[in-house]
Amino acid sequence: MRTVAVNTKGFDIQAALLETGRREFLAHGFEGASLRVICRKVGVTTGAFYSYFERKENLFAALVEPTLERFRMFSSDLLQHAALDMESGGEKELEVVAFLCEQRDAFKLLFDCSAGTRFAGFKRRWVEQVLMDSYQNSLEQRVQGTVDPALVRLLVKMKLAQYNEFIYGDYSADQARDLTSKLMLYSDSGFPALVGALKDNGTE
Amino acid sequence: MRTVAVNTKGFDIQAALLETGRREFLAHGFEGASLRVICRKVGVTTGAFYSYFERKENLFAALVEPTLERFRMFSSDLLQHAALDMESGGEKELEVVAFLCEQRDAFKLLFDCSAGTRFAGFKRRWVEQVLMDSYQNSLEQRVQGTVDPALVRLLVKMKLAQYNEFIYGDYSADQARDLTSKLMLYSDSGFPALVGALKDNGTE
Amino acid sequence: MRTVAVNTKGFDIQAALLETGRREFLAHGFEGASLRVICRKVGVTTGAFYSYFERKENLFAALVEPTLERFRMFSSDLLQHAALDMESGGEKELEVVAFLCEQRDAFKLLFDCSAGTRFAGFKRRWVEQVLMDSYQNSLEQRVQGTVDPALVRLLVKMKLAQYNEFIYGDYSADQARDLTSKLMLYSDSGFPALVGALKDNGTE
Amino acid sequence: MRTVAVNTKGFDIQAALLETGRREFLAHGFEGASLRVICRKVGVTTGAFYSYFERKENLFAALVEPTLERFRMFSSDLLQHAALDMESGGEKELEVVAFLCEQRDAFKLLFDCSAGTRFAGFKRRWVEQVLMDSYQNSLEQRVQGTVDPALVRLLVKMKLAQYNEFIYGDYSADQARDLTSKLMLYSDSGFPALVGALKDNGTE
DNA sequence: TATGAATGAGATTTCATTCAT
DNA sequence: TATGAATGAAATCTCATTCAT
């Protein structure tokens, strides 16, 4: 727990910097956001900023890292219970969606506002290292053969589009759950059809 | 055909500005890209830039407008032959994908690098005005009732994710065609399942 | 009173910017004066300038606004005690001249160096809204009829020429007072002659 | 007479440069006016400009010099027939006003748009070398003693204000003549009063 | 005569960061 | 902790002028 030594201004400056920083980064991206503007909006000097954060990037990091840590745990889970929307993956899938909804802003920052930070490419890395592996393994097990990585990537990107929509759409948890299950109708029928066709073709 | 009066430098500066501009815009976005850097890489002064383009934005426009014009014709077509991946839409769909592959870079610029230009929001407008309408109409015809726009939007975003992958993935025309038809296996089976379920539920 | 935290340079930079700015604006006009040059002469970077003033125009405003405020009070006075150099206006007239002499530089800036700022046209507005009205009313009262505005404008411009000379000539307060009363000899005799002639002509 | 070799464009480019230059210089002053804008409005390249004029200043000079030459003849006349609005000066005075009206634009350029050219200060020089001398001599003859140059300067500036108004006001020749004679009523009565007082005071 | 590309310097303004106090 | 002045580089864009063609 961060202790808050309430200062002469009578409010928690660090919290204000975080909150305003979030808004500005979301609005203009990391590089587009101006430290001076953030500080002006909070009502402190830019000098004061550097009492709390060593550099601009660290403000961004502070907004993103708690979520990122929890996210990493999630990820290793996913790698084990492969294949999100197949088989009994439905349970896990709903968990993922709930997590994304809960941490909306952090994911927006990571996905779309991180250019210029060390978090740039987070989305790409997640797709390539986590989701791709997970999907590839799961599909190849079912097809009993190799599967074209390009096809896997496409399926992953479609899945990611769902996630993205849950992040940016302002859905309640209930709505999200409802939409997710409707989409499962779609994929529960589509996947077997695809798998069947791939099997017939022999090795891809 | 633009006539190229080869200059004292012995190369076509306008072409070089376009080419380098494309690369820089792709790498850093419109606002993030620096005219100075572009000019330095081409080997001319920033003053010289303004012999060729009235302003930074016009360089961007020159990279994007030819494609945009052709795209607009495509769009009006799509609005008439609604429902891309349903029914006999397969033909049109392949055309779209081919176009995206051919004009890869222009679409990357339009989709992801246009913030700060008059082309900003192009993707959003396309999604909301063209694809959403097309999908909504087509689905409601088949369901014979209203369909939740949130669900439509999700399906559209998934479709868009496919397009995006064709743009960013380095697929040949043949590969793209092949992948697209595989995905149709998926959706040709998934869509009827979804439509059926929506019908049973009565009004959405 | 502005407190002057003497800085590492050992002199009051804001004051220096004001003083140098005044000189440069007087010499080249607002648009012709260069911020770079002003800063170079003061010995600071142009970046430093923006610690003190938000923009170039604000430096100009700071040089001019205090005077302008006092001037506005003067003006509303004048509108009430119409007709400066007629009747008992002599008292007011001497006050005006003293004020102009005291605030010489500010009036030079306002009159002749303000193109490109929000103060542009100050002279024209003063002439047209204050002096013209004042003269027109006063003359028409004495003539007991309408007076050609073109003639009024001419008389106003002559009055303004006097003011201008007091601003640009380097007169002491005493000299100015002396000259003003000599001019009154001129106008005290000239005005009645003019008024008489206008009366005889009937309506102008 | 300048011979006009009508060119491929089918119009007299030099004349167009002069005409457009006049407008731009009047609107923005010499330094504020942009050669590129002038050329663009005329429809030629900036390079072409230098076929007709060696430098920006020469365009200005060409607009101003013919008038200036005639003006110089006028001036030497004035120096001989001293004292414009006194005695029989009335005739000369009307000539001057007519000349100013006829050459309006050139005088606007000389008076108010010449900063940055070798004509800068034309007004000041005229005032100081021609009008001042003329007035000083004439007054001292009538007063039979020395006259304070500051007073002379004031009277000159008032006269100049009249001229200025004739230049900027859009008066017809008739109107100008009419206004001038009205002002003479004023000065014909004011001057003797002033002269009388100066005489009484003995030496100034 | 006319082009139009090119220069090099200069314009105002913003940036993240530093640092003495 | 907080200030706020200061830096130095960078941003986009405009300028008058030159010059090979």
Q: Give the pLDDT band (50/70/90) at residue C203.
A: very low
Closest CA to A170 of A105, A118, A76: A105
Are C26 and C74 in a shared domain? no
CA–CA dist A4, A14 (Å, integer): 9
- Using the predicted structure, report yes or no on whether residue B46 has a pLDDT greater than 90: yes
Asked whether residue D88 falls in the same domain as residue D35, the answer is no
Same domain, A68 and A47: no
Q: What is the spatial distance, in angstroms and rounded to an integer, between the CA atom of A47 and the C1' atom of E18?
A: 9
The predicted pLDDT at position D204 comes to: 41
How far lies B20's CA from each of B30, B53, B169, in Å? 13, 14, 21
pLDDT in tens, D134-143: 889 888 988 9
Considering only CA atoms, which of B182, B148, B149 is closest in space to residue B165?
A: B182
Within-domain flag for C124:
yes
Say if residue A61 is exposed, middle or buried (CB neighbours under 10 Å; 0-12, 13-18, 19+): middle
Are C83 and C89 spatial neighbours (Cβ–Cβ below 8 Å)?
A: yes
**In this structure, are A117 and A142 located in the same domain?**
yes
Cβ <8 Å between C197 and D185:
yes
* Whether residue B44 sits in one domain with residue B106: no
CB atoms near residue B19 (< 10 Å): 15
pLDDT at C79: 66
The CA-atom distances, in angstroms, between D178 and each of B157, C199, D97 are 80, 16, 11
Report residue B119 as tokens. 């082309």
Query: Does residue D24 have a pLDDT over 50?
Result: yes
State both tokens at D6: 């009508």
Same domain, B34 and B106: no
Taking the C-alpha atoms of residue A126 and residue A133, their distance in angstroms, rounded to an integer, is 10
The arithmetic mean of pLDDT across residues D166-181, rounded, is: 87
Let me know how long chain D is. 204
Chain E: nucleotides below 7 Å from protein CB are: 1-21
pTM assigned to the model: 0.88
Contacts for B166-175 with beta carbons within 8 Å, 24 or more apart? B166/B97, B166/B100, B166/B101, B167/B100, B167/B101, B167/B104, B167/B107, B167/B108, B167/B111, B168/B104, B168/B108, B169/A150, B169/A153, B171/A150, B171/B101, B172/B101, B173/B98, B173/B101, B173/B102, B175/A150
Contacts of A31 in chain B (CB under 8 A): 32
The HSE-up count of residue D88 (CA atoms within 13 Å, CB side) is 2
Q: How many CB atoms lie within 10 A of CB A163?
A: 20
Predicted local distance difference test score (pLDDT) of residue B21: 95
In a domain, B1, yes or no: no
Which residue range(s) make up the domain with D172?
64-201
User: Is C12 found in the same domain as C81?
Assistant: no
* Torsion angle of C-alpha atoms C113, C119, C121, C124, degrees rounded to 10: -100
Using the CA of C31, give the nucleotide whose C1' is nearest. Answer: E11
Q: Do B102 and B79 sit in the same domain of this protein?
A: yes
User: Is B1's pLDDT higher than 60?
Assistant: no
On whether any CB of chain B is under 8 Å from the CB of A183, the answer is yes
Average pLDDT for C146-174: 92
CA closest to C197 among chain D residues: D185
Provide the pLDDT for residue B194: 92
| Nearest-angstrom CA–CA distance, A162 and A97 | 9
Per-residue pLDDT band for C204 (boundaries 50, 70, 90) equals very low
**Local confidence pLDDT in tens for the 204 residues of chain A:** 455 555 666 788 999 999 999 999 999 999 999 999 999 999 999 999 999 999 999 999 999 999 999 998 887 776 666 544 455 556 778 888 888 889 999 999 999 999 999 999 999 998 878 889 888 988 898 899 999 999 999 999 999 999 999 999 888 878 888 898 889 888 889 989 999 999 887 544
Cβ(C49)–Cβ(C94) under 8 Å? no
Contact status of D162 with chain C (Cβ, < 8 Å): yes
Check whether residue A196 and residue A154 sit in a common domain: yes
Structure tokens of B184? 């149709």
Whether B2 is in a domain gets the answer no
Q: What secondary structure does DSSP assign to D140-202, as a single string? A: HHHHTS---HHHHHHHHHHHHHHHHHHHHS---HHHHHHHHHHHHHHHHHHHHHHHHHHHHT-
What's the Å distance between residue C110 CA and nucleotide F9 C1'?
35
**Among the ranges given (C2-6, D19-23, D58-62, D128-132), the one the predictor scored with the smallest mean pLDDT:** C2-6
Q: Do chains B and A touch (3 or more CB pairs under 8 A)?
A: yes
Question: Å between D116 CA and F15 C1'?
Answer: 15
| Average pLDDT value for residue range B128-150 | 89
The verdict on a CB contact (< 8 Å) between C162 and D158 is yes
Residues D164 and D96 both lie in one domain:
yes
D47 and D71 in a common domain: no
DSSP state of A201: T
Question: Which chains share 3+ C-beta pairs under 8 angstroms with D?
Answer: C
Same-domain pairing of A17 and A108: no
The whole-number average pLDDT for the span D177-192 is: 88
In this complex, do A169 and B153 lie within 8 Å of one another by their Cβ atoms? yes
| Other CB atoms within 10 Å distance of the CB of residue D49 | 22
Q: Among residues D158, D139, D163, which one has the least CA distance to residue D149? A: D139
Question: Does the structure show a pLDDT above 90 at D202?
Answer: no
F11 C1' closest Cα residue = B34
Q: For tokens 């009066």, name the residue.
A: B5
Alpha-helical (H) ranges within chain C are 13-32, 35-42, 46-52, 56-80, 90-102, 104-112, 122-125, 132-143, 149-168, 173-200
Number of domains in chain D: 2
Say if residue B2's pLDDT is above 70.
no
Say yes or no for a CB contact (<8 Å) between B182 and A158: no
Identify the pLDDT of residue C74: 80
Whether residue D1 lies inside any domain: the answer is no
Burial of C107 (0-12, 13-18, 19+ CB in 10 A): buried
Q: Alpha-carbon distance D85 to C133, whole Å?
A: 28
Which H/E stretch holds residue C2?
A: none
CA atom of D123 to C1′ atom of E6, Å = 39
Name the burial class of residue B181, with classes exposed (0-12), middle (13-18) and buried (19+) by CB atoms within 10 angstroms of its CB.
Answer: middle
Which CATH number do you get for residue D34? 1.10.10.60
Mean pLDDT of B68-75: 88
